[in-house]
Amino acid sequence: MKAKVFSITGQAGKDIEFPTQFNEEFRPDLIKRAVLAIQAAKRQPYGADPEAGKKHVTKISRRRHKFKGSYGAGISRVPRKIMSARGTRFNWVGALAPGTTGGRRAHPPKAEKIWTQKINVKERRKAIRSALAASINANLVEDRGHKVPKTYPLVVETKAEEIAKTKDAIQMLIALGLKDELTRCQVKKVRAGKGTMRGRRYQRKKGPLVIVSKDSNLHKALRNVTGVDIVVADNLNTELLAPGTAAGRISVYTEDAVAKIGGLFK
């Protein structure tokens, strides 16, 4: 597949041929597996204290005629903690058992649980190639909800990596036809559910992904633009190309980045 190389002012230039990595068959099932594997690797293990709810001095007697037993008193036979005693009469409360106040949980989360998911190396690379192919398919990108310019796919000259100011970087994206897409990313939505109380009250949409050939000034220029992500071609992964397992993220490639991808993910 061929594409035009645009200048930073939006002028169309020479044609460029995408490498074979962009010709991969679209496999949403593989892409989903790869994204979930990345997300699972980021999860922090968590679990309850193994002794939680078990720190009371409690016991239950299974003998019918024991002095301190609860048999014959017309009460349930659960472990009890004695609060006070007078003769053979006891003031006690249920403890330790899952159904009692202050008792243990029946099946608490275990800290030793392994959250990571495995994926074969060849499958992971194939998933990245499939996501790359989806990123230059205008129909898939539009189906994902992006505002796609008529000149899509977008390849910009390598000179773009030298841009050091945010306003110049935004101007370049607008010149490439991404003004509507940047406006779309500005919309702020209140999250439904308990996330509103946990420091993630608002949701924003994912916007353009800019792929460059090396660490450059453009990273600092774009790092604070809402919805925009920038990544070096070496560090590309399926989650960046398909956020939320939905492939077809609108992407801007620099000319050198396209050439570099030709030697990766084989």
Q: Give pLDDT tens digits for 74-113.
A: 888 889 898 998 887 888 888 999 989 889 999 999 999 9
Q: What is the pLDDT of residue 47?
A: 95
Structure tokens that stand for 222 in this block: 């774009």
Least confident of 46-55, 73-82, 184-193, 230-239: 73-82
CA distances from 105 to 12, 109, 131 (A): 65, 9, 43
Q: Give the model's confidence band at 253: pLDDT under 50 very low, under 70 low, under 90 confident, else very high.
A: very high
pLDDT > 90: percent of the chain: 82
* Cα–Cα distance for residue pair 174/178, rounded to 1 Å: 5
* Contact indicator for 91, 85 with CB cutoff of 8 Å: yes
Res 85: pLDDT: 87
Res. 51: pLDDT tops 90:
yes
| Distance, CA of 216 to CA of 182 (rounded, Å) | 22
Cα–Cα distances (Å) from 69 to 53, 82, 102, in that order, read 22, 11, 21
Give CA separation, 120 vs 123, 125, 141, in Å: 5, 9, 27
Alpha helices in 95-252 (DSSP H): 121-135, 138-143, 166-175, 179-185, 217-222, 238-241
- The answer on pLDDT for 172 being more than 90 is yes
DSSP H helices, the chain, are 28-42, 121-135, 138-143, 166-175, 179-185, 217-222, 238-241, 255-261
Structure pTM? 0.84
Residue 21, amino acid: Q
Question: What letter represents residue 236's amino acid?
Answer: L
Within 13 Å of residue 57, how many CA atoms lie on the same side as its CB?
2
